[in-house]
Amino acid sequence: MITIAIFNYMDVKNLKIFLAVAKYLNYTRAGEEVHLSQPSVSVRIKQLEDELRVKLFEQIGKKIALTEAGRLLEPYAKRVVAAVDDARQAIEEFQGLERGKLRIGASTTPGMYLLPRVISRFKSLYPKIELQMTIKNTHDVEEAVLKNDFDLGFVGGHLVTGQVEVIPWYVDEILLVAPSGHPLATRKKVSPQDLAGERFVVREAGSATRSIIEKKLLELDVQALDSVELGNPEAVKQAVKSGLGIAFISKLAVETELKSKALVAIGSNIFASRREMKIVYRRESHLSRAVLALIEQATLD
HSE (side-chain half, CA atoms, 13 Å) at 177: 32
Q: What is the pLDDT of residue 6?
A: 43
Model-level pTM? 0.67
DSSP secondary structure, 19-75, as one string: HHHHHHS-HHHHHHHHT--HHHHHHHHHHHHHHHTS--EEEETTEEEE-HHHHHHHH
The 10 Å Cβ neighbour count of residue 295 is 16
pLDDT tens-digit profile of 160-181?
A: 777 899 999 999 999 999 999 8
d(CA 133, CA 123): 13
What confidence category does residue 92 fall into, taking pLDDT thresholds of 50, 70 and 90? low
Q: What is the pLDDT of residue 265?
A: 92
Single-letter residue type at 69: A
Fold of 173-274: D-Maltodextrin-Binding Protein; domain 2 (3.40.190)
- Domain 98-170+277-298, CATH 3.30.365.10 — does that match? no
Please state the rounded mean pLDDT for residues 50-56: 93
Average pLDDT, whole number, for the chain?
87
Residue 8 pLDDT > 50 = no
Q: What is the pLDDT of residue 232?
A: 87
pLDDT tens-digit profile of 210-225?
A: 888 888 888 888 876 6
d(CA 115, CA 121): 10
Q: What is the pLDDT of residue 9?
A: 46
d(CA 241, CA 263): 7
**Which bin fits 211, alpha (ψ -120 to 50), beta or left (φ > 0)?**
alpha
Query: At 271, is the secondary structure helix, strand, or coil?
Result: helix
What confidence category does residue 263 fall into, taking pLDDT thresholds of 50, 70 and 90? very high
Q: What is the pLDDT of residue 3?
A: 45
Decide: residue 5, CB within 10 A, 0-12 exposed, 13-18 middle, 19+ buried.
middle
Q: Do domains 98-170+277-298 and 173-274 have the same CATH topology?
A: yes
Angstrom CA distances, 251 to 48, 126, 183, stand at 49, 30, 21
Angstrom CA distances, 76 to 18, 83, 155, stand at 11, 10, 28
Segments making up each domain of the chain, as ranges:
2-91, 98-170+277-298, 173-274
Q: What is the pLDDT of residue 98?
A: 65
d(CA 82, CA 285): 8
Domain 2-91, architecture per CATH: Orthogonal Bundle (1.10)
HSE (side-chain half, CA atoms, 13 Å) at 158: 7
Q: What is the pLDDT of residue 74?
A: 94
Angstrom CA distances, 200 to 19, 93, 219, 246, 264, stand at 39, 48, 16, 5, 15
pLDDT tens-digit profile of 64-80?
A: 999 999 999 999 999 99
Q: What is the pLDDT of residue 4?
A: 40
